[in-house]
């Protein structure tokens, strides 16, 4: 018991020195779990939680969080079907929420975490909002504009570029999307059979 307590104290000290807000925000989680996660993984898990909310609503499971100075300042998930708005992507909604909360369109020093590589619209919004870094989980071979089809976030002709980190918790993010679309195809197939 004494050895476990000593290990927990050392783990907390390491977590605290790593990022005190991260250490504080994982108070309900075990220290061992905290130490296994990188900072990007921690925030990506929060984006995944948002994606699950989207899935519960029948939306494509994409979630995003925006972090400023180690604190999550905005959270959002895909609401395109719910709101019937083509621009209701998780990234657009999280940027809107952050701008509202901070009272500015300039989101300098912030980091956007999103479960799927941003599309052209969302990558453009990140650039125009002056987001410093974009971290995404799964690549998007059909619309990804953070390195897959093109990289709008690091286009030198723009007056702002963002650092890009790809593949954070890629397997979990990708599996969530493929499971969603597999279930959707099965549902449509079953509905088609009933119509016959």
The catalytic residue positions are: 91
Contacts of 59 (CB under 8 A, 6+ apart): 77, 78, 79, 80, 81, 82
Is 89 annotated to bind a ligand? Reply is: yes
Q: Is 145 annotated as a binding residue?
A: no
Residue 78, phi then psi, degrees to nearest 5: -55, 130
* DSSP-assigned letters across all residues of 69-110: TTEEEEEEE--HHHHT-TT--HHHHHHHHHHHHHTSS--TTE
Q: Alpha-carbon torsion 69, 55, 79, 130, what sign?
A: positive
- Do 54 and 90 meet the contact criterion of CB atoms below 8 Å apart? yes
Question: Which residues lie below 8 Å from residue 168, measured CB to CB, with a gap of 6+?
Answer: 38, 40, 41, 44, 113, 135, 136, 137
Eight-state DSSP code of residue 118: -
Residues making up the annotated binding site for Zn(2+) are 89, 119, 122
Residues making up the annotated binding site are 89, 119, 122
């Amino acid at each position: 018991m004494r050895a476990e307590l000593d290990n927990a104290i050392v783990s907390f000290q390491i977590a605290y020195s790593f990022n005190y807000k991260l250490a504080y925000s994982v108070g309900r989680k075990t220290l061992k779990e905290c130490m296994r996660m990188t900072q990007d993984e921690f925030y990506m898990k929060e984006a995944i939680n948002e994606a699950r909310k989207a899935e519960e609503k029948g939306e494509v499971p994409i979630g995003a969080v925006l972090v400023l100075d180690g604190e999550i300042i905005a959270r959002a998930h895909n609401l395109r079907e719910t709101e019937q708005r083509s621009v209701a992507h998780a990234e657009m909604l999280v940027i809107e929420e952050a701008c509202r909360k901070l009272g500015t369109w300039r989101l300098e020093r912030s980091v956007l975490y999103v479960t799927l590589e941003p599309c052209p619209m969302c990558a453009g919004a990140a650039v125009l909002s002056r987001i410093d870094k974009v971290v995404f989980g799964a690549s998007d071979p059909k619309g990804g504009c953070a390195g897959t089809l093109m990289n709008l976030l690091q286009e030198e002709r723009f007056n702002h570029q963002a650092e890009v980190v790809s593949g954070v918790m890629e397997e979990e993010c990708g599996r969530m999307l493929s499971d969603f679309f597999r279930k959707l195809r099965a549902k449509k197939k079953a509905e088609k059979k009933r119509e016959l």
